[in-house]
Structure 1
Amino acid sequence: MKGYSAILSAAGLAAILALSVVPAMAQAPKQAAPAAPAAKKPPPSPAAISAAREFLVLKNVGAMFGGAVPGVVDQTRNALTQQHLNYQKDLSEVAVIVARNFAGRENEIGEGMAQIYATEFSEQELRDLVTFYKTPLGQKLLTHEPRAISGSMGWMNQWAQEFGVKVNDAFKDEMKKRNKPI
């Protein structure tokens, strides 16, 4: 799980959180067309939230967001340092203080995830998932799935590179037919 968590944590979560935390440093987002109203679901029960927490612990999702606070602090410090090069030393010192002041806030991510899972799955479904992940097959899935996902991602990247060459060649062939070689 560590390999999968490291990939998600480093590559995805820190970037997503950093981009959402420092909106003043990016362009204002474009207004999206209003989505169709979703059917209101009743709020999840405390028992469903508890089952969701247990499921998320079994899935070790805490490893995904364990470094979220330091990651966001570092991303923010780096962005501010690029804008204020003369404050680099001060910003590095302040980053330590800010990280210490916000330590533990990553637990909010886990609570939010538990709320979402408890909304998407019934209490019984979550209990069934917990039961499954405690079985030998569930335990095997927990241990082997990260490698399977990592291997799949590597294979997809290799495929995309090889396919990209074929697509590029097809573009060249078609442009050549138009007497516009590229």
Structure 2
Amino acid sequence: MIAQTINQTLRKVPAWPLYILAPIPVVWIYWLGITGELGVDPAKKIEHQLGLWALWGLIAGLAVTPLREKLGVNLIKYRRAIGVITFFYVFAHLLTWLVLDVQFQNVWADIVKRWYITVGMAGFAIMIPLALTSNNLAIRKMGPVIWRKLHKATYAVALLGALHFLLLVKGFQWEPILYTVAIVGLLAMRVNWSGLLASRKVAET
């Protein structure tokens, strides 16, 4: 009953305002940096916050299917917008690192030597074709079956994003661990465990 009420309300709310609202947090965090509200190293704080928002976007995108299947809440029409906005935050995160943090110095050396950067760049590279094909024209050209297969690469992006955060932090910290658990848990909810167990029993007989 609650899910039905939520779905009826969501039918009246279009996805397009999300694209308009998405840049506001980026402008806000940069404004805080410009006005000195982020301390002595604003670039690092902006970079970190944009990375967190990107990770939240990945988690939100992964949560759409489980919410529909487990709770009956249908957010499918927002999933594409969530994905595009997540790419926008990842791109802003990358640009902040390139322009404000390392200032285009020793970029390739950092990518090769620092594992967390290597992993992050791999995730970003995978996201590029996903972002470029997040439109109706791409679906028509590719066909829905191939398009869905391509966009399952989002799962790899989410895992790489979690690993990027785990490798980035120093020492034991709960925050990246909790994000990793959330991502792995959401991916595990997509697996047909009963089917896998049944197949294993058949193979053993």
Same fold (TM over 0.5): no
Higher-RCO chain (CA-CA 8 Å, sequence separation at least 6): 1
User: TM-score by structure 1 length?
Assistant: 0.28
User: TM-score by structure 2 length?
Assistant: 0.25
If you compute each CA radius of gyration, which structure gives the higher value, 1 or 2? 1
